[in-house]
Amino acid sequence: MSAARAAAGDPAELGRRLRECDRGAAPAALNVIEDRSARGRERTRKLLAEVSPAALGGEAGAHLVGVTGPPGAGKSSLLSALVGRWRELGRTVAVLAVDPTSRRSGGSLLGDRARIEHDPRDDGVLIRSTAAGTRMGGLAPPTREAVQALAPAFDLVVVETVGVGQSETDVEEVTDTVAVVVQPASGDTLQFLKAGIMEVPDVLVVTKADLGEPALRARRDLESALRALGSRDTPVVSVSSVPPPSGIDDLVEALDAHRAAIDLPATRLRARRLTALADFLAERGEAGLRALGGRREAERFLDSLHPALDAAALVGALEERASEEGGG
C-alpha cells in the first residue's frame, strides 16, 4: 500500500484534513463513521478526536441546521433551492439526509440524496443519505458523529429528517437552528399543533406558497398558535420551490439571524453532552442509565466534566462512572 493510500485511510489523518477544511476527506471520513464494528468505532474515536473543540481551539465554524417535517412537505425541493442559493452566496454545504433504515442491510432505505438537486461536479456540496437507526424518526449515532466530523470543513451542515416520532427532539439536540417545514391544505398544520412540538422550531417554513390562499391560511394558523404560546419571536417564512423559487432569501436571512442570536458555545456544549448520553444509551440501554442513577443524575455528571471533551470522551466517562456505580 502506498503512503498516500495509507494516509487516506488513516482516521486521524482524515480528521486532520477535515480540521484544515479539506472537503475531499469527507466521503472517506463518513465511510469510517458508518462502520459500526468494534474496529470501526475505535477508528471513529480517533477521527473525531482530531475535530474536537480541543483540537480546533474552539467550536467548529459551520452553521448546523436541522430541517424536519412530515413526509411530502416539500423538504427535498426546499433544500434543492436552499443549497443553490447558499452556493450562489459562496457557502459550502453538506447535507445529511436521514432516511428510514432498511431492516435487511441496516442502511439508508430511500437514498434521499437522489431527490435533492445539485451539481455533482461541485466540490462545495456534499449530500449523503444516512440511516435513521432503530428509533422511529430518531437520529442514529453515525449521523450525530457525521455532523461533528463535517462541521470544521463546511460552512453549513444540514440534517434533514422525516418529522415523525423522535426526529424533532433529536435534531434539536445536534443542530444550532431547527427549521420545521409544513405544507398547506394537508392537515399538517393541525397535526403539528396537536403534536405539542411548537417549542422545537427556531424557524417555521410554510412550503408551496404558490398555492395562494391555502398557504396564507397555514401561515396565519401557525402565527396564531405561536402568539398563544408566547413565542412571537419565532419567524414563519413562506416559500415556493416552483421555478423561479420565492421566499428563499427570506429563509436564509431567518436562519442566519437565529444563528447570530444564540450562545454558540453553550449550544454546542449541550449538543455534545446529549449526543454522548444518546450514544451511551444506544450501547447500554436502560440498565446503563439506572447504573448512573437515572437521566437527571447522568446529565448532572456530564455537566461536571470539562467543556472541551468531545462526545467520545464523554461516553467513556459515562462508561467508567456506570462501572464504578455497579453497572457492570
DSSP 101: B
What's the pLDDT at 106?
41
> What is the Cα–Cα distance from 11 to 32, expressed in whole angstroms?
7
The residues, any chain, with a CB within 8 Å of residue 151's CB and separated by 6 or more, are 51, 60, 61, 62, 64, 157
Cell numbers for 70: 412530515
Instruction: Provide the Cα torsion 318, 320, 321, 326; round to 10°.
Output: 120
Judged against a pLDDT cut of 60, whether residue 284 lies above it is answered with yes
Judged against a pLDDT cut of 90, whether residue 195 lies above it is answered with no
pLDDT in tens, 204-229: 999 999 999 999 998 998 888 888 77
What's the pLDDT at 187?
66
> What is the Cα–Cα distance from 38 to 328, expressed in whole angstroms?
19
What's the pLDDT at 198?
64
Q: Alpha helix (H) ranges present in the chain?
A: 3-9, 11-19, 26-34, 38-49, 53-56, 75-88, 141-150, 167-174, 188-194, 213-228, 248-261, 264-291, 295-303, 311-324
> Stretch 136-141: mean pLDDT, rounded?
67
The letter for the amino acid at 9 is G
Least confident of 77-81, 171-175, 230-234, 268-272: 230-234
What's the pLDDT at 300?
95
pTM summary value: 0.88
What's the pLDDT at 206?
94
Residue 233's pLDDT band, with cuts at 50, 70 and 90, is confident
> What is the Cα–Cα distance from 100 to 132, expressed in whole angstroms?
5
> What is the Cα–Cα distance from 22 to 12, expressed in whole angstroms?
14
> Stretch 137-149: mean pLDDT, rounded?
84
User: Which of 62, 29, 61 shows the shortest CA–CA distance to 46?
Assistant: 29
> Stretch 120-141: mean pLDDT, rounded?
77
> What is the Cα–Cα distance from 184 to 6, expressed in whole angstroms?
52
What are the domain boundaries of the chain?
A: 1-58, 63-261, 263-328
DSSP 210: G
Residue matched to cell numbers 456534499: 126
What's the pLDDT at 235?
93
**E strand or H helix that includes residue 93:** strand 93-99
What's the pLDDT at 297?
95
Judged against a pLDDT cut of 90, whether residue 312 lies above it is answered with no
Query: Other CB atoms closer than 10 Å to residue 118's CB: what's the count?
Result: 18
> Stretch 232-260: mean pLDDT, rounded?
93
User: Which of 176, 164, 133, 151 shows the shortest CA–CA distance to 271?
Assistant: 176
> 112 near 76, Cβ under 8 Å?
yes
- Residue-averaged pLDDT of the chain: 85
Query: Other CB atoms closer than 10 Å to residue 158's CB: what's the count?
Result: 28
Instruction: Provide the Cα torsion 49, 54, 59, 61; round to 10°.
Output: -60
What's the pLDDT at 5?
43
Domain boundaries 63-261, CATH class = alpha beta
> Stretch 114-141: mean pLDDT, rounded?
76
User: Which of 91, 98, 52, 105 shows the shortest CA–CA distance to 75?
Assistant: 98
> 154 near 92, Cβ under 8 Å?
yes
- What would you report as the CA-atom Rg of the chain, rounded to the nearest whole angstrom? 20
pLDDT in tens, 39-75: 999 999 999 999 999 999 999 999 999 998 888 888 9
Q: Greater confidence, 233 or 85? A: 85
> Stretch 102-117: mean pLDDT, rounded?
47
What's the pLDDT at 134?
52
What's the pLDDT at 267?
93
Residue 283's pLDDT band, with cuts at 50, 70 and 90, is confident
What's the pLDDT at 194?
56
What's the pLDDT at 308?
83
